[in-house]
Amino acid sequence: MIIKFLINNKNILIFIFLILIIGYLSFDKYINKPMLDHFSFAIKDFDKNSVFYDETLKVLGYKKVMSLDLKNGARLFAYGPNFKPIFWISNGGFIDSEEIGNSKGQHVAFVAHSIEEVNNWYKKCLELGGKDNGAPGEARIP
């Protein structure tokens, strides 16, 4: 009965179709987009530790896509996929070097495409001096 009504009232059918299209476009606009565009933080011993990020992020398929040397002494490297700078590190520029690396409670998670990629990244991090606070595995929340 509903199908017969819709067929006989083509304007309603077109209206419903347009609502579905608008809903889909809105969904795609807000749901399929990342929440964050990029983030950055300062690291100590920039030259040495930037090599750590070069090598470990390479395992996950990310590469250095930008390098900046600013007039204030700040140096920045940006990493990401397909030339999109998402993850930035810097030497802090004008920041007192004693403050760099003292923030607590930060959590950063990179996208990996397989368990093998996670394990390879973990091994590479340890190989390059990263500190272990738990091996990869299923996270159990108490």
- Res 74: pLDDT: 84
Q: Which residues span the domain enclosing 69?
A: 39-127
pLDDT at 84 (0 to 100): 86
Predicted local distance difference test score (pLDDT) of residue 52: 92
Q: State whether the Cα torsion 98-50-103-33 is positive or negative.
A: positive
The pLDDT, as a whole number, for residue 138 is 75
The answer to pTM > 0.75 is no
How many structural domains comprise the chain? 2
Q: Do 80 and 57 share a structural domain? A: yes
Residues whose CB is less than 8 angstroms from the CB of residue 27 and which lie 6 or more positions away in sequence, other chains included: none
pLDDT computed for residue 15 by the predictor? 58
Beta bridge partners of 88: 40, 78
Residue ranges, the chain, pLDDT below 70:
1-35, 94-105, 139-142
Is 136 part of any domain?
no
- How high is the pLDDT of residue 43? 83
